[in-house]
Structure 1
C-alpha cells in the first residue's frame, strides 16, 4: 500500500476544503471498499479525508412526507429503521441482501453508492482495464465475463455496478444531495452513475471535490407495496447475477402504478422504463409481465459466459411482479 496523509475532518467545511485543495484526495466513510482498493493499489490517494465524525448520520421525516437519509447512516441502521421497513420495504430488503452483518455495521449509505465494480480484471493489476488504466483495453471482453453486464455496455467496458441498495433507490426515485465549496446540488439517483461509453473511468456525475451528504426519498405510496429479489451464485452473501427492485399497485386487476429497476446487468442501477411503460394501465397478468420483461431486455447483448443473464433477468422480473401480486402487497 502506498503511503498517504490521514486527515480526520471535524466538520463538513473542513472536509470540503481538504478535498478541494488536494488533487489526489479521497473521502473515507466506512472504508469497506476504499481500504480494499488501497491494499490492492487500485486506489492510491495522497490524502485520505476521514469523514466519520461529520453530522450526517440522521434519518428524518421530510415535510412533504418523504425521508431524508444522512450519507453516513450505517447500512444496518437503515435496514432496521421503522419507516424504511414499512414505507419502503424494497430498500430494507436490498440492504439486508447486500452484505454480511459485519459489513452492514460498517458500510455507509454514501459509500455504498460510490463503491466501485468488483470485476476481476479491475482488481488484477496485470490485466487490461480501462476503468483502472484508461486506454489499456478491457480484458473482460474475450475473457471471463460471467458477472459482466448485458445492458448499456460498450467496447471499452462491460463491468457491472455491485450495489444492491442503489437498485432499490433507483426504483424509488431517490435524489442524492451533494455538496462542495461551491454549494449544494441535487442529482436524481438514476443520473448519479454513468454508463461506460468511451470513458469508463468516469463512473459518476460527481465532481472530484463533491461529497454526498444525504439521500432523499419522496413520499411514494406505491413503495409500501414493494419487494427486492436477488439471484446469486450461492445462498450466502454474493454479488447479484441479476436483481430486481419492484413496486406495484393494482386496482380491479389493472396496474395503476409500477416502479422497476435491475441490478447486476449494467454499470449503473438500471431503471426499467420500457417495462414500466408497458405495464402501466395493462392487466396485472403473467402475459403482461412477460411482455414487459421481454421488451426491457430486448436491447441486451451478452457474451458467451453471460448470455444467460438476459433470460434470467426476464424471469426474475416476472417472478418478482407475480410475488407482489399473489401475496396481496400490490392490491
Structure 2
C-alpha cells in the first residue's frame, strides 16, 4: 500500500472538487473494497476523501412518487433490515443478505456496492496480465483457471464478472441511480449504469470523473408478493455466486402479467433479457414456460474450459427460482420448491 493523505469532506461540493481535479484522490465510505485495492497495489491514492459526514445521503425515505429513496451512505445491513425494504422490496433484502458476511454488510455502503471491482483472481494478482487493471496487457483468465468467470456479455478483452448480489435485485426492480458531479446532477437508469467490457474493460460503469453516487431510487412496484433470490455458490456464506437469479413476478387471474429476471455471477454486469421477460406475459407460471425463458436468456452464452457448466446451471437456476417466486415461503431454510 502506498502512502496517502486522509481528509474529510463535510459537503458534496468539497468531495467533488477534491476528486474531479485529481484521479489519484479516492473516495472512501465503508472502505470494504477500496482498502483491498490499495493493499494489493491495484490502485493508488494521493488522498483518501472520507465522505461519511456529508449530510442528506445517509437515510432511507419514501419519495413523492410512492417509491423509496435509499441514500448512498446507508449500509447494506441497515438497508436489508429496514422495515420498508423488508415489507415492500423483500427481493432486495434477500439479495443483500446473501452477499458477503454480516461484518462486511455492517460496513459496506450502498453506493460502494455499485462501484465494487471484480473479484477475478488475475485482476488481484499484479504479476499477471489483466486488461481491466492494465489496458492492453491481455486477459490471463481466458486461457487460465476461469471457473468463476463470465459466460455472457464478455469480450476478447475481459471475461470477469461483476460480484454484487444487491445489484442483481436492483436490476429487477428497475432502480435509478442519482449522481452528483462537477457539471450537473443526473439520474441514470440502473440498466445503463454498469458497462460490458468490449474494448474498454477498465471502465466498469458510466460514472464520470469527479462524480459520486448520492442515492438509489426504487419505483413503487417492489414485487412483494411473488419474488425470489437464489444464489448458487461453493459455500453457504462469504462466497461469490457461481450463478445467482433474482425474479419478480406479477400475476393476474392465474397468468403472468409481468416478469423480471436478472442473473448474477455470469456477466460483467447484472444480466437481463427483455425479450425473454416479454415472452412470459400472458402465460401460465409453469415449468415449461420458465424453461423456454431460460433458453432465451442463455442464448449466445459461451463458456470456457473451466466454466462451461455454468450454462446449464444457469438455465436450471432460472426455472427453480421462478418456481420459488410463486411461493416465497419456499425460500426458508430447509424448504424445497414445489417442482
Q: Shorter-chain TM-score category?
A: over 0.9
Q: TM-score, normalised by structure 2?
A: 0.95
Give the structure 2 partner of residue 40 of structure 1: 40
Q: Distance in 1 between matches of 2:303 and 2:122?
A: 18
Per-residue CA deviation, residues 265-310 of structure 1 (Å, 9 max, x unaligned), is 1001112323202111222111000000011101110002101111
Distance 1:224 1:59, change over 3 A: farther
3-state SS, counterpart of residue 78 of structure 1: helix
Pair 191,243 (structure 1): closer, same or farther in 2 beyond 3 Å = same
Q: Which residue of 2 aligns with 1:309?
A: 310
TM-score with structure 1 setting the length = 0.97
Partner of 2:178 in structure 1?
177
Cα 1:255/1:20, change in 2 over 3 Å: same
Alignment check: 8 A CA contact 1:90 1:245 kept: yes
Segments of 4+ in structure 1 off by > 6 A? none
Instruction: Tell me, yes or no, if structure 1 residue 122 matches structure 2 residue 123.
Output: yes
Equivalence for 2:269: 268
**Which aligned pairs between 1:308-327 and structure 2 lie closer than 5 A?**
308-327=309-328
2:226 is aligned to 225
CA gap of 1:118–1:214, structure 2 versus 1, over 3 A, is same
Tell me, yes or no, if the aligned pair for 1:157 and 1:200 is still in contact at 8 Å: yes
Question: C-alpha distance in 1, partners of 2:268/2:275?
Answer: 18
> RMSD in angstroms over aligned alpha carbons?
1.3
User: 2:334 is matched with which residue?
Assistant: none
Secondary structure of 1:112's aligned partner: helix
1:151 to partner: Cα distance:
0.5
Partner of 1:95: 96
Is 110-119 or 46-55 further displaced after alignment? Answer: 46-55
Q: Secondary structure at the residue paired with 1:120?
A: coil
Tell me how far apart the structure 2 counterparts of residues 97 and 239 of structure 1 sit (CA, whole Å).
9
Structure 2 alignment gaps of length 5 or more:
331-339
- Structure 1: gaps (5+ residues): none
CA offset digits 1:141-176 (Å, max 9, x no partner): 010000000111000000000000011000100000
1:13-28 matched pairs, under 5 angstroms: 13-28=13-28
Structure 1 match to 2:333: none
Matched ranges for 1:57-68 at <5 A: 57-68=58-69
Cα distance in 2 for partners of 1:102, 1:86 equals 24
Counterpart-to-counterpart distance in 2, 1:224 and 1:204? 32
Farther-moved stretch of structure 1 (252-261 vs 65-74): 252-261
Counterparts of 1:129 and 1:63, CA distance in 2? 45
Matched length: 329
- For the residues of structure 2 that align with 1:163 and 1:61, how far apart are their CA atoms? 24
Q: Structure 1 310/93 Cα, relative in aligned 2: closer, same or farther at 3 Å?
A: same
1:1-331 aligned within 5 A: 1-55=1-55, 56-220=57-221, 222-327=223-328
